[in-house]
Each structure stands twice: as structure tokens, then as C-alpha cells.
Amino acid sequence: MSNTRIAFIGAGNMAASLIGGLRAKGLDATQIRASDPGADTRARVSAEHGIETFADNAEAIQGVDVIVLAVKPQAMKAVCESLCPSLQPHQLVVSIAAGITCASMKNWLGAQPIVRCMPNTPALLRQGVSGLYATAEVSAEQRDQAQQLLSAVGIALWLEQEQQLDAVTAVSGSGPAYFFLLIEAMTAAGVKLGLSRDIAEQLAEQTALGAAKMAVASDVDAAELRRRVTSPGGTTQAAIESFQAGGFEALVEKALGAAAHRSAEMAEQLGK
């Protein structure tokens, strides 16, 4: 990445996380540029990361090696079609938009090398995880550029099939929100059980952090770690039995199925 030049189209939450990760990894500010219609957004990323920003997308991509499409899925068609006349054949397009297929992007962009990926918001703390899929036009060097871009903000995992990105979106793209929901619910339950909100929130947050760190660091799987907390006839068993009686696993499967289905549905609705 030492000489790679990157343009971000859309400078919102995910773009800012990726830019922050790249800068922390040592990329020079002159290697990164971003475009966004919002003057405030442009001023913010410019001030935070020292990069040049543009109101015009076509101007932002001039002379870059990698173009990261970081706009909402609903804006992708218009953005791709407006960029198409200005694209150079060697420029790698990396899309982070949920539910927009490579086939749709090819229709809008032409035969451009495309990597489609799904990061997540912990990228902000360089603790993200991404799934990546490359089209046949992507060279080994471009694959490496995409790998380095996403691994600047966490773990980057390549997928064999593009369709698997629907599942990645369901598990890890949307996943931070599920853990936040659990933290919210555990905090509220702690308050009902007599704790102050501040104490309940700290207990829930630090427990989520500690459990995640244990799961990552441990040689054994999550089921074994759970068993080690669960003393026979004790408090954890009482809670786990209550979760399972309420259909916890089936509910999680249903929720992630809904997310994956929505990802595929968005491809149908927004991909034409």
C-alpha cells in the first residue's frame, strides 16, 4: 500500500472508519481523498484525517488506483453511472454497499475490476471483520490492495461465492447491532433487579468485552466456554434454561435469516 492512492466516494460512517484505519496504519494523507455532497461531512473528514475532499465524484477519482464506493445502497446506481465515463480500466472498484451485486455494478460500470465486501462498524476501533469477494477481472495485485485496505481496520476474509456475502451481512455486517441490543436488554434487566443504570451498563458492557476477548483467545469453542461458566444447578443454568425455553437459538436463526433475506431482496430491488 506504500504508493496506492485511494478515493472514497461517500464520506459517512464507514468511509470515516476505513480512512481512520488506513491513516493509523501509516498511509500518508496525500494517498487518500474523499468525495461527499455534504459540506459539513467534507469539512469533518478533512479536519480529522488531513485528506483532500471533493464535492464532485469524478474529480475525486482522477489518478487513483482504488475507488471505494461507500454510499448507501439506494445511491449506488446513480453513483456508478455518473463515475462510469471517468473510470480508467486499471482502477479497482471496491464496494462496501449491502445487497448490491457485482453483476449490477458491472451493468452500471462496465468491465471494471470489482471487489465487493462487507465490513462492520467496529472498523472504527480497528476491530472490524470483513468478508470479501473478487470478480474475475481483479488481478493478484488488486486483490492484495483490497486485502490491505480492509485489514487496516480488522480481519479480512475472502469468500468463494458472492452469495455468501448475504450471510456475512447477516452475521457480522449487522452483527454489532445484535450485541448492542443484548447490552441494552441486560442493562435494563439489571436496573429492574435493583442496580443503578450506570453500574448495570458498565457490568453489561465489560462482560460483553471480556466474553468476546475470551472467545477469540481461547483454544476451546464458545459452547465449552459457556459450560465452564455454568455450574450444575447454579445461576447460569437457570438463566440459560430460561433463554432456551424462550426459543433463543431459533430466534437468532430467524433474525439472521431475515437479514440475509433482506440483503438478497435489496439486490433484486436496487440492482436493476
Ligand X SMILES: NC(=O)C1=CN([C@@H]2O[C@H](COP(=O)(O)OP(=O)(O)OC[C@H]3O[C@@H](n4cnc5c(N)ncnc54)[C@H](OP(=O)(O)O)[C@@H]3O)[C@@H](O)[C@H]2O)C=CC1
Ligand Y SMILES: O=C(O)[C@@H]1CCC=N1
Nearest 5°: phi and psi at 138?
-80, 125
7: amino acid identity, one letter = A
Cell of residue 247, nine digits: 426459543
Report whether 118 contacts 130 (CB < 8 A): yes
Q: Which is nearer to ligand X, 154 or 190 (CB)?
A: 154
* 98 makes contact with ligand Y (CB under 6 A): yes
Q: Least separation, in Å, of the C-beta of 254 and ligand Y?
A: 17
Residue 79 interacts, among ligand X, ligand Y, none and using kind-specific CB cut-offs from 5 to 8 Å, with: ligand X
Residue 71 interacts, among ligand X, ligand Y, none and using kind-specific CB cut-offs from 5 to 8 Å, with: ligand X
Q: Least separation, in Å, of the C-beta of 87 and ligand X?
A: 15
Residue nearest to ligand X (CB): 12
Report whether 35 contacts 7 (CB < 8 A): yes
* 95 makes contact with ligand Y (CB under 6 A): no
- Return contacts of 237-242, CB within 8 angstroms, 24+ apart: none
Residue nearest to ligand Y (CB): 173
State yes or no: 79 annotated in a binding site. Answer: no
Q: Least separation, in Å, of the C-beta of 261 and ligand Y?
A: 12
Query: DSSP class of residue 234?
Result: S
Q: How many residues bind ligand Y (CB under 6 A)?
A: 4
User: What is residue 45's three-state secondary structure?
Assistant: helix
Q: Is 148 exposed, middle or buried (0-12, 13-18, 19+ CB in 10 A)?
A: middle
Answer for which of 10, 174, 183, 201 binds ligand Y (CB under 6 A) is: 174
Alpha carbons 259 and 85: distance in angstroms, whole number: 34
Report whether 69 contacts 93 (CB < 8 A): yes
Q: Which is nearer to ligand X, 200 or 270 (CB)?
A: 270
Residues forming the site for ligand X (CB under 6 A): 9-15, 35-38, 41, 57, 70-73, 75, 79, 96-98, 118-121, 173
Alpha carbons 172 and 109: distance in angstroms, whole number: 28
Q: Least separation, in Å, of the C-beta of 97 and ligand Y?
A: 8
| Alpha helices (H) along 6-68 | 13-24, 39-49, 57-60
Alpha carbons 228 and 230: distance in angstroms, whole number: 6
Residue 150 interacts, among ligand X, ligand Y, none and using kind-specific CB cut-offs from 5 to 8 Å, with: none
State yes or no: 156 annotated in a binding site. Answer: no
Q: Least separation, in Å, of the C-beta of 271 and ligand Y?
A: 15
Residue 14 interacts, among ligand X, ligand Y, none and using kind-specific CB cut-offs from 5 to 8 Å, with: ligand X
Q: Least separation, in Å, of the C-beta of 39 and ligand X?
A: 10
Answer for which of 20, 21, 122, 173 binds ligand Y (CB under 6 A) is: 173
Which position has the grid cell 475490476? Answer: 113
Question: Which residues make up each annotated binding site?
Answer: 9-14, 57, 70-73
Task: List contacts with ligand Y (CB under 6 A).
Answer: 98, 169, 173-174
